[in-house]
Structure 1
Amino acid sequence: MDSRNIQYFMAVFEHLHFTKAAEKLGISQPTLSQQIRILEAELGTPLFDRIGKKVVATEAGNLLRLYGVKMLQAEQDAKDAIKELLSGERGTIRLAVLPSDLDFQLVPLFVQFKMKYPDIQLQVFSTIHVQEEVLNHKVDIGIGIQGPPDKRLIQVPLRSEPYYLYANSASELASRKEITLQELEQHSLVMYPKGFLGRDLVDKVCIIEGIELATVMETSSAISLLQLVSAGVGATIQPKELLKQHPERTDIVAIPFTGPTPVRHLELIYCTDRFISSSHRLLTDGLIDFFDGTNSTNKKRPALY
């Protein structure tokens, strides 16, 4: 099968619309339709059912999509390996990270990485669906919440980080040296909406302890949550290291929990079948060193390769 026709097929599968797929590919709709027909003839089965203006993938189409992703990635890996052999410390790395880590922790590391390796292009994507982005080959490496063991992934533990209460420095909570989750039932909170990773980690502990926390406002952005805390709207529960890179802030205080505490376990992941270039190794080493530097329990670097 021609990899170009696989790319055409993947575009149609993504959009389920021949005209939109053709526009994305920069070719005419009749040309795209012809190439899909050629691919269907080669495989001996339809890949899409065309019901009026509606396009639906057939069972064969769904199967080809699964293997098509791997075929295109294998081709790209081969090109990357040869390109690296010829060029040395070059290439492009796609990294997925959680939004709060991108906004509050990792940018200084990325600046240092770029200064040290100016010929490596780093593309960083903010997402709460880190594992899905890695498995779908939309990114090369991901840093997210630790998941169950998966044979499709290399999973490297990075850091375990407790959650703290972040409160306005002028509030009645600011003088507290520690606090319990149960006490927060009597205080105003601003939190992520239910279904977000950070909120789910907190809710899981609360459910076990029979605690029900009420929110006065919810938003999907850690930056906006801290703005609400700064404005005195309420307190929020976030990872301990959230403001480590911003010690100059005096409007917000971080208060540790005593008793049951939400904890997030971070891991670095990439697909087991991916080609890992030297540029990828440089970044993964930098990321592990960064997280090891704030986690005294990580005495030994895990074997990556």
Structure 2
Amino acid sequence: METRHLHYFMAVCEELHFTRAAERLGISQPTLSQQIKVLEGEMGMPLFDRIGKKIALTEAGALLKDYAARMIQNEQNAKAAINELRSDNRGIIRLGVLPSDLDYRLTPMLVKFHADFPNIRLQVFASTLIQQEVLENKLDIGICLPGPRDSMLTQVDLGWEPYHLIVREDHPYAAMSHIELSLLQQIQLVMYPRTYIGRELVENTCLEAGFGLEPIMETGSATSLLQLVKAGIGGTVQPRGLLEGMENSGLCSIPILNTAPCRNLRLIYRADRFISHATHTFISSLRRFLIDNLRLEDGAQNP
């Protein structure tokens, strides 16, 4: 069995269309069909049911697909390991984070990592489908909320972080040492759109307490939210550490008591992928930074 046959087979599995798979591979459709027939002859069983112009995996095809995916991943791991030996720590690390404040707060750590590994290209993507995109090799590492456990992933619980009310220093509530969740009904708020994970966490906590939120303004940028709060448009409900490191921000952060919104964070990457030395270093640096600078509480759940 040749590796190229497995690549051809996987392309057809993903496209379920010989012409589209051939275009993707850069070969002709008759050549692809012939190579799949060679593979089927070697397997001794058909791998696809051909129904008119449509195709579907046979039981043998579905079985081979699982093994082929692992074999191709091992091939990629071997190439990556050898490339690292001759690359002087070059390469790309693709990091996925939730579309919220995390990319904004990670900047100091990214700057330091670049100083230590100037030849590594770092790419940070905001996504709500981090686990899926790590599994599909679209991302190397992800920081996300806990999801279903998957044997294909290494998943590290980082801890949990409560949300606070952030207001301007001259806001009527600014002098309060804490507030009750129910008081959020009485405050004009600026928030992320409902499609954002952080907004959903806050919204769901409020709904469980018997009320909903009607923000006066919505924006998808942490920087914009803080600027709106500074302008006196309203307060916002964000993770506790968002204001840390900001000098003379003119804002204050007020804890929310009794069933405060909180988020659990998890670091994930594929368990079967080759992890370069630089990526291992990045993961270690990322874990330390998140725990030390986001002041995450120990454990995966809010006690």
Task: Give the TM interval when normalised to the shorter protein.
Answer: 0.7 to 0.9
Contact 1:49/1:57 (8 A) holds in 2: no
Q: CA deviation at 1:290?
A: 1.0
Give the direction of change, closer, same or farther, for the CA distance of 1:237–1:31 in structure 2 (3 Å limit). farther
Give the direction of change, closer, same or farther, for the CA distance of 1:59–1:259 in structure 2 (3 Å limit). same
Q: Tell me the SS of whatever aligns to 1:99.
A: coil
Give the direction of change, closer, same or farther, for the CA distance of 1:104–1:297 in structure 2 (3 Å limit). closer
Give the direction of change, closer, same or farther, for the CA distance of 1:204–1:111 in structure 2 (3 Å limit). same
Q: Which residue of 1 aligns with 2:181?
A: 181
Give the direction of change, closer, same or farther, for the CA distance of 1:101–1:190 in structure 2 (3 Å limit). closer
May I ask how many residue pairs the two structures share in their alignment? 297
Contact 1:180/1:257 (8 A) holds in 2: yes
Task: State TM-score, norm by structure 1.
Answer: 0.78
Which piece of structure 1 moves more, 121-130 or 145-154? 145-154
Contact 2:190/2:217 (8 A) holds in 1: yes
Q: CA deviation at 1:76?
A: 1.0
Contact 1:198/1:238 (8 A) holds in 2: yes
Q: CA deviation at 1:73?
A: 1.3
Task: State TM-score, norm by structure 2.
Answer: 0.78
- Unaligned 5+ runs, structure 2: 299-303
Q: CA deviation at 1:283?
A: 0.6
Q: CA deviation at 1:207?
A: 4.1
Contact 1:159/1:295 (8 A) holds in 2: no
Matched residue type, 2:136: N
RMSD: 3.4
Q: CA deviation at 1:163?
A: 0.9
Are 1:69 and 2:85 matched, yes or no?
no
Q: Tell me the SS of whatever aligns to 1:212.
A: coil
Matched residue type, 1:110: L
Q: CA deviation at 1:183?
A: 1.2
Q: Which residue of 2 aligns with 1:266?
A: 265
Within 5 A, what are the aligned runs for 1:75-86? 75-86=75-86
Matched residue type, 1:109: M
Give a deviation string over 1:75-112, Cα, whole Å, max 9, x none. 11112223334455344333222232453112332222
Give the direction of change, closer, same or farther, for the CA distance of 1:195–1:298 in structure 2 (3 Å limit). closer
Q: Tell me the SS of whatever aligns to 2:32.
A: helix
- Unaligned 5+ runs, structure 1: 300-305
Q: Tell me the SS of whatever aligns to 2:265.
A: strand
- Give the Cα separation in 2 of the matches to 1:11 and 1:172: 61
- Give the Cα separation in 2 of the matches to 1:68 and 1:228: 52
- Give the Cα separation in 2 of the matches to 1:71 and 1:26: 22
